[in-house]
Amino acid sequence: MKAIRGATTVENDTTEEIKESVKELLTEIKRRNTLKSENIICIMFSNTADIRSYYPAKAAREAGFFNCALYSSLEPDIEGSLKKCIRVMVLAETEGKIEHVYLKGAANLRKDITKKLNIAVDGPAGSGKSTVAKLIAKRFNILHLDTGAMYRAVALACMKAKVDCTDSKKVKKLLQNTKITVKFENGTQHTILNGENVSDLIRTPEISMLASTVSAHESVRTKMVEAQREIAADNSCILDGRDIGSNVLPNAEFKFYLTALSEVRAERRAKENEQKGLFQPISEVLCEIKQRDNQDKSRKIAPLVKASDAVEVDTSNMTIDEVVEFISKSIQEKI
Ligand code: DC
């Protein structure tokens, strides 16, 4: 007999979502461990105290698990522990290796007994990759590293030091005395340039263009890629950028390449800018986006390309939620 562990989370404490999540978790445990219903002896659930609408064991019964013993218990309300979480232990008659299953917000809960998850999302400006990556990270409870922010920080360093971003020698020299790091607080990335949090300062159209220019230099890419790989080696994470699937993490288990018509991307970017109080004519935004696409795609080192094993998603006519749903489903099916 073997004990298989698992957990999942719900976003809302509703009967419907608890039923759906329990069914998904148990189905996944059966699938990954090639279990038949008659192999399962008993299923024990515990759920956090913020789940009150429904018993996970009752949800399991309704999902068709009636030939085994089922049991639910309530966990104490422990400060700092994962919220709205349903944990499970399945006792089953099975031979060989077992696989524990941690889904959604619980995906990163037991790094010691589950595989590390690395997801690469690439695409041009305005394809939605950052917004989507942020939401996927939240759903799977993993880190989101926005690699573009690091190149933007290099551009800002050049701007502050009045170094021409096209001058590779001067940029290389400046980099030797420049420290760029990222830190994460409650899932939010802060980009730090020489000790200063520059997360907001790097979000201007001027820095966008300069980041694209400065990112073409070998010295810049070497330093940034090294830092990105270090973060990915230690954490389950989703990285978004231009060369993640093709260069930074060529062995990432999941790779997505987001595209959208340049007109749609320009419209999205103009709206984003507007929300920050920055009004720029769409024609100007479109022009900048096209110029940046061109620079990012045509540079010699690690240009923007779709990795041959990446799944391409054209987001032109999709809402953010639809893209997130599509990507989450593709990950969940293979995980
Ligand atoms: O994703 P973004 O718009 O914040 O990126 C700014 C620039 O940084 C982009 O035009 C090219 C560069 N970049 C890159 O070369 N490689 C990455 N992995 C991410 C961004």
pLDDT truncated to tens, each residue of the chain (335 aa)? Answer: 999 999 999 999 999 999 999 999 999 899 889 999 999 999 999 999 999 999 999 999 999 998 899 999 999 999 888 999 999 999 999 988 898 999 888 877 887 777 788 999 999 999 999 999 999 998 887 899 999 999 999 999 999 999 999 999 999 999 999 999 999 987 899 999 999 999 999 999 999 999 999 999 999 999 999 999 999 998 889 999 999 999 999 999 999 999 999 999 999 999 999 998 989 999 999 999 999 999 999 999 999 999 999 999 999 999 999 999 999 999 988 77
Cα 206 to chain centroid, rounded: 27
Q: Measured from the CB, is residue 247 less than 6 Å from ligand 1? A: no
Residue nearest to atom 10 of ligand 1 (CA): 212
Atom of ligand 1 nearest to the CA of 130: 1
pLDDT value for 193: 98
pLDDT value for 29: 94
State how far the Cα of 211 lies from the Cα of 223, in Å rounded to an integer.
Answer: 14
Atom of ligand 1 nearest to the CA of 244: 18
Ligand 1 centre distance from Cα of residue 147 (Å): 7
pLDDT value for 139: 85
- 97, 98, 99, 117: which is closest to 107 by C-alpha? 117
pLDDT value for 97: 87
pLDDT value for 179: 97
Q: Ligand 1 pocket test: which of 147, 224, 269, 293 has the largest number of ligand atoms within 8 Å of its C-beta?
A: 147
Q: Ligand 1 pocket test: which of 242, 249, 259 has the largest number of ligand atoms within 8 Å of its C-beta?
A: 242
pLDDT value for 101: 92
pLDDT value for 217: 98
Walk across the sheet containing 180-185 and list its strands.
Answer: 180-185, 188-193, 196-197
Cα dihedral 20, 26, 32, 33 in deg (nearest 10): -170
State how far the Cα of 327 lies from the Cα of 318, in Å rounded to an integer.
Answer: 12
Ligand 1 centre distance from Cα of residue 234 (Å): 22
pLDDT value for 105: 85
Q: Measured from the CB, is residue 30 less than 6 Å from ligand 1? A: no
Q: Measured from the CB, is residue 243 less than 6 Å from ligand 1? A: yes
Atom of ligand 1 nearest to the CA of 243: 18
**Cβ(243)–Cβ(302) below 8 Å:** yes
State how far the Cα of 196 lies from the Cα of 192, in Å rounded to an integer.
Answer: 5
Cα dihedral 75, 79, 80, 85 in deg (nearest 10): 20
pLDDT value for 310: 98
Ligand 1 centre distance from Cα of residue 19 (Å): 41
Atom of ligand 1 nearest to the CA of 129: 1
What is the reported pTM?
0.77
